[in-house]
Amino acid sequence: GAGVSQSPSNKVTEKGKDVELRCDPISGHTALYWYRQSLGQGLEFLIYFQGNSAPDKSGLPSDRFSAERTGGSVSTLTIQRTQQEDSAVYLCASSFGGVGPGETQYFGPGTRLLVL
């Protein structure tokens, strides 16, 4: 079966522009996560969606970052007015949901974002 997919795989943008990153979770997974992987900060949690519940946005680094999940499936991470420090690999993961914090998260290949 298909795994988690992300698009685009690479994105180059200019400082100040907005970008949208897309994540398609594994079919049937109700939980979806976004993480950021950067040289200086390692792997950081950004946001977590579980079904129709309010998302856990506690990891978003600033109000320039937002995410939505439509229809309980596809998610879009939006970064407004990009800055050079936003350059990183953005990873999406999904899990079955409802089992608890020990359940496995399945990761996509990531979107590599470069802000010039």
> Among the candidate windows 19-27, 52-60, 70-78, 79-87, which touches other proteins by CB under 8 A?
52-60
Q: Does 40 bind other proteins (CB under 8 A)?
A: no
Residue with tokens 């010039």, as numbered in its chain: 116
Paired sense of beta strands 10-13 and 111-115, if any: parallel
Kindly tell me which residue out of 11, 30, 64, 109 binds other proteins, with binding defined by CB under 8 A.
109
Element (H, E) at 46: strand 42-50
Q: Tell me the torsion sign for CA atoms 31, 4, 64, 45.
A: positive
Residue 56 binds to other proteins (criterion: CB under 8 A): yes
In the complex, which residues of this chain contact other proteins (CB under 8 A)? 4, 31, 33, 35, 42-45, 48, 50, 56, 58-59, 91, 93, 95, 100-110
